[in-house]
Structure 1
């Protein structure tokens, strides 16, 4: 089976809100095509392991997707529904191939990378000749190789967090999120850092009063705007990684308050989108020092940075050998499951076929040639890591 064929199969399986069928396919394929120890955990993550050793390398992806557009869903016949007059139907995701690309929900984000990782995992040889002359014909494990496809990445890393809490702790991981066309056209790079995202709410409370007697109340909107001014004055951190400056950001994105044109408002809420960088965060908690103001964190997706230069260079060398372009170590603006893994102690890089602007779109697609390239990168990276 080629990476193109495997990607088509995976993409056709609906996995928005319910990833069960896609997980079933991945699990069954791994059991059929490999002799690995394959497990399915309580939330639906599929994890396969082979080999043993002091260190583990994981090929990591996710098989959930965002909601498909109507054009990305097709209705197919599912056989008889038990009557002679009607035929049951089933929903599949549409997969279209044209101009050297596969189109469909999940092609770029990220079932194409999952397919490449499955094949690279199958092909990875985790044994090497014994160092003992007396056992020169024997082989011994050269390390543990792991494949993991998580659920719930698109809704805050549900699967990755569950796996980590359950003991998933590889020393190294290649996460197959997008890294293509970052340094230049038709180049698949290696991401060594990305931003995180912290979403929070500022709630200002006051005392309602009739607007004709404004002094009798405490205006919650005024308190909220004081908090907004404080947010605007905060210094946003940045960090230099791989010759690039990864800069955080802090943006007020929504405001809601008031109940009538003639009422002093007693409540106002402001939402803040913060893009975090490894090592530092803006001191947003300072807004809670203001009278009548509370600050709560709604979502906190961690950033990622690879601090193991040897591992990053190993994957970069594999990427360089697998393509005619000259890949680089780069940074990425989007949070991924690599952030959760890095926060738990795994050294991560990101390398995958998706290009900027492809994920989550109505015409999402992936290059077949780049899928084949990523498969070769993963194969080379695994071989180099096992031979270290």
Structure 2
């Protein structure tokens, strides 16, 4: 089975609410096509292992997707639409990231690995890394990982680069509390919206950290994105909530906790997707060599703006890079697509990396 055929089968299989059937497909394919040790854990992660040695390289992806557009679902809802046009596959999950999962599976099958080689496709990446976190908590700890999220088209159109760092995302809530009063006697209360406004001023004046990675500037950001408060036109409000979106970078965080110095203000972290940075230069260069050998163009080490499961793995001690077929602007769109030629390139790239690392 070719990478195009396997991608078609995976994309055709719905997995935005329940990844079970897509996981079944992957598990059955690995058992049929390889002699590897194949396992499926209790949350649905699909894992396969082969090779020997002291160090482990993992090819990592996820087989869940975001909800498809109506145009991406076959009438009746039992299948997703998959179409081939002009050398590309179109459909929900082609770019993010069933195409790369298929490429990793084919490469895993075909490689004669230099060490222990693991294929891992997780569930729940789109909802906070549920599968990756479960696997890590239960002992998944490869020494190195190539995470197949998109890295094509970063240094130049059509070039499959190697991302050695990405931003994380921390989402939080600022809650300002006051004392309710009639608006005609506002001095009798404490206006929660005014206290929230003071918190907005603190956020606006925060300096988000910036780091230099692979010759690129990776800049964090912090911004208030939502506000809710008040109950009526003539009532001084006793509660107001702000939502904050923060893009984090490896190292320092913006000092959002400073808002709690204000009277009546609390700060709660709702989601914290970690950033990633590869600290092993030799590993990054080895994957870059594999990428260079798999294409006529000259790939580069780059950074990526989006959080991925590489953040969870890196936080747990795995040295990670990101290398995959998806291009900027493809994931999560109604016209999502991936280049077939780049998928074939990724098969070659992953195989080359598996056969040359660890050195």
Normalising to structure 1: TM-score of the pair?
0.92
Which residue of the partner structure matches residue 63 of structure 1?
63
Whole-angstrom distance in 1 between the partners of 2:261 and 2:116: 50
Correspondence for 2:89: 102
Paired position in structure 1 for 2:11: 11
Q: Aligned pair 1:112/2:84, yes or no?
A: no
Aligned residue in 1 for 2:118: 146
Task: Give the ranges of 4+ consecutive aligned residues of structure 1 lying more than 4 Å apart after TM superposition.
Answer: none
Q: How far apart are the structure 1 equivalents of 2:115 and 2:324?
A: 23
Partners of 1:34 and 1:321 in 2: CA distance:
25
1:143 CA drift (Å): 1.8
User: How many corresponding residue pairs?
Assistant: 359
Task: Tell me the SS of whatever aligns to 1:297.
Answer: strand
* Shift of residue 52, structure 1, vs aligned partner: 2.4
- Cα distance in structure 1, aligned partners of 2:77 and 2:100: 26
CA distance in 1, matches of 2:264, 2:193: 11
Q: How far apart in 2 are the matches of 1:379 and 1:52?
A: 16
Q: 1:125 Cα shift?
A: 1.1
- Number of the residue aligned with 2:275: 303
Matches within 5 A, 1:32-181: 32-75=32-75, 91-126=78-113, 142-181=114-153
Q: Secondary structure at the match of 2:289?
A: helix
1:190 maps to which of 162, 168, 180: 162
Q: 1:331 offset after TM fit, Å?
A: 0.2
Q: Partner residue of 1:84?
A: none
2: CA distance between counterparts of 1:31 and 1:5?
A: 17
What secondary structure sits across from 1:92 in the alignment?
A: coil
Q: 2:296 & 2:115 partners in 1: Cα distance?
A: 30
After TM superposition, give the deviation of residue 346 of structure 1 in Å: 0.2
Segments of structure 2 that go 5 or more residues without pairing to the other structure are: none
CA distance in 2, matches of 1:54, 1:379: 19
Q: CA deviation at 1:49?
A: 0.6
Distance 2:77 2:252 in 1: 49
Cα deviation, 1:141-193, whole Å, max 9, x if unaligned, reads x4210000000000000000000000000000000000000001110000000
What is the distance in 2 between the residues matched to 1:120 and 1:20? 23
Tell me the distance in 2 between the aligned counterparts of 1:10 and 1:212: 63
* SS of structure 2 residue aligned to 1:93: coil
Q: Per the alignment, in what secondary structure is the counterpart of residue 57 of structure 1? A: strand
Q: Give the corresponding residue for 2:340.
A: 368
Q: In the alignment, what sits opposite 1:358? A: 330
1:24 aligned partner: 24
1:186-207, CA deviations, whole angstroms, 9 ceiling, x for partnerless residues?
1000000000000000000000
Deviation of residue 124 (structure 1)?
1.4
State how far apart, in whole Å, the 1-side matches of 2:343 and 2:95 are: 10
Separation in 2, partners of 1:350, 1:168: 18
Secondary structure of 1:94's match?
Answer: coil
Using the size of structure 2 for normalisation, the TM-score is 0.99
- Structure 1 residue 383, shift from structure 2 partner: 1.1
Shift of 1:368: 0.5
Structure 1 residues not aligned, in runs of 5+: 76-88, 127-141
